[in-house]
Amino acid sequence: MTHALPFDNSYARLPERFYARQSAEKVAEPRLIAVNERLAERLGLDAGLLTRPEWLQVFAGNAVPEGAEPLAQAYAGHQFGGWVPQLGDGRALLLGEVVAPDGARFDIQLKGSGPTPFSRRGDGRAATGPVIREYVVSEAMAALGVPTTRALAAVATGQPVWREMPEPGAVLTRVAASHIRVGTFQYFAARSDVEALGLLTEHVIARHYPGADGPLGLLDGVVAAQARLIARWMSLGFIHGVMNTDNMAVSGETIDYGPCAYMDGYDPKKVFSSIDQHGRYAYGNQPQVALWNLAQFASCLIPLMGEEAAAIEEATASINRFADIYQAEWLRLFGQKIGIEAAGEADAGLIHGLLNVMAAQGADFTRTFRGLADDRAQDEFADRAPFEDWAKGWQARLARESGAEARMRDANPAVIPRNHRVEEAIQAARKGDYAPFQRLNRILASPCDLAADDADYARAPLEDEVVRRTFCGT
C-alpha cells in the first residue's frame, strides 16, 4: 500500500489494561495544512508521498495505515496539584511506532481525532488554534535543540468544534520518542498493579534507557533527563504553562503544548495560562515543579525496589541529585549565553546579576541576551545605568575568554515564536489563510540566522500586540 510504514507496535503488545483499542472518527472534508519535510526525512519517509490524497486521509483519521494498531493510552495524573485517578488519551490515538532507518523508534499519534473511552464527556476534537500553536512551538523547540515532541502534519477537518464558540477543527499528527508519562506509572500505582508497573518499567528501560539497572536506574535516568530539559527551557525563557504529571514524558521530551509561551519582558513570576490563577507553573517555579513531579514518579517505583525503607532511601537520594544536575546544566547554558565557554560557580553571581537587572526593568529576555553579542543589549533598558554597571564586570570576565561573540550568537536565538506572531498565525488560520503560519515556521527553522527581510520577527511586541494570557485547552 502507498501508506505502508515500518511499524513495530511494542506498546500494543503490552496487556490491554494499558490502553483502549480505538478507531478515529472520520471527517467529511479534510484539507492539508502542512507536512513537515524535515521530520519526514528523519523518519525515512518521502515527504512528497505524504502530500498525496491517500495520506491526507491518514492524517485526518479517515484511513489507518498498514501495520498500525490505533489505541488510546491510559494514564492518570496530578493536575495543578489535584489528583485525578483516570485521565488517558481523550482526544488522541497512537497509530503505532515507526522504526526509522537508523533503528530509532518514534510514536505516530493523531491528536484531535475524536472521542475515546477516556474523553470524559469531551468531543475528542481539536480546534485549529491549538493545533497551529503546537505545530509552531514544538518545531521551534526542535530547531533550538530542545528535546520535544514534533509535528509531522496538520489537517483542517472542515468541521466546527464547539468551545466557547464554534471554531474550525483540525488534527495534528504528532511524533515522539514515546508518549509515556509520569501519569502512566501513576495510573497503575494507584491501582496497586505491581505487575503492570513492572512491565511498564521494563518497556521504558528497553526503549529509552537501555543502560539502566532496574527501577532505580530508570529513576536516575529520568531525573537527569528532566533536569537537563528544564534547564534548557529556562535558558530560552520558555514557560510550559501546564506541568501536570500527565504532561511530563519519561523520555525527557517536552510534551503537550497547551498554554505555553516564550516570555517577552523578563519576569520570574510570569504566567500565561488562563487557568493558572496562583502561579503554580510560573517561569521561576518550573524547576521546583519538575522535582515535585519526579517525586511522584519515584513513589510509583518503590514497590518494585525491594524492602520499602531501603527503597525510599535510594529513591530519595536519586531525586536529590536533580538539583545538582539542573544547576550544572543551567550554569553551562547561561554561561554560554553570556559568552563563557565553561562557566563555574564563581560565574553564577554574574549571570544572576544580569537577570536581576533585567527583571527590575522587564527587559526583553531574548533580545537582551542576543544583544550581548553585538553591543545592543543596553537598548533593552529604559535606564541603562544598572546594565552598564553590570557590564563592567562581565567585560572583565570575557577578557579571559576567546570566541565569546560567536558563542553568544550560537547560544542566543535571534527569533523565537513570540506570542503575538503565533496569535497572528492562529487568527489567519481560523479564516483559512495559512500563509502567516507557513512564513513563521520557515523563519523559526533557523532561529539564530535571521534574514534582513524577516527582521520584524525579532522585535518585541508593541503595546497593543502583547499577549498576556494563552488558553489552556483544545
Residue 1: band (very low, low, confident or very high) from pLDDT cuts 50, 70, 90: very low
State the pLDDT at residue 3: 53
Average pLDDT estimate for 324-334: 98
What per-residue confidence (pLDDT) applies to 302? 98
pLDDT at residue number 474: 52
% of the chain exceeding 90 in pLDDT: 90
Question: Are the C-beta atoms of residues 310 and 304 closer than 8 Å to each other?
Answer: no
User: Per mean pLDDT, which range of 205-209, 265-269, 467-471 is the poorest?
Assistant: 467-471
How many CB atoms are located within 10 Å of the residue 80 CB? 16
Average pLDDT over residues 429-440: 97
d(CA 264, CA 369): 12
Residue 375 identity (one-letter amino acid): D
Residues 3-38: pLDDT tens digits?
A: 567 788 999 999 999 999 999 999 999 999 999 999
Give the CB-side neighbour count of residue 145, counting CA atoms within 13 A: 12
Grid cell at residue 116:
475515546
Cβ-based neighbours of 463, under 8 Å, separated by 6 or more: none
Q: 38-52, 131-145, 232-246: which has the minimum mean pLDDT?
A: 38-52
Write out pLDDT tens, residues 336-355. 999 999 999 999 999 999 99
pLDDT digits (tens, 9 = 90+) for 72-112: 999 999 999 999 999 999 999 999 999 999 999 999 999 99
Q: Is 246 a catalytic residue?
A: yes
Contacts of 255 by beta carbon, 8 Å cutoff, 6+ apart: 148, 149, 176, 179, 181, 247, 248, 249
Residue 471 binned pLDDT confidence (cut-offs 50, 70, 90): low
Q: Which of 89, 107, 220, 246 is catalytic?
A: 246
pLDDT at 436 exceeding the cut of 50: yes
pTM equals 0.96
Instruction: Name the helix (H) or strand (E) containing 94.
Output: strand 92-99
Question: How many H-runs (helices) and E-runs (strands) does the chain carry?
Answer: 15, 12
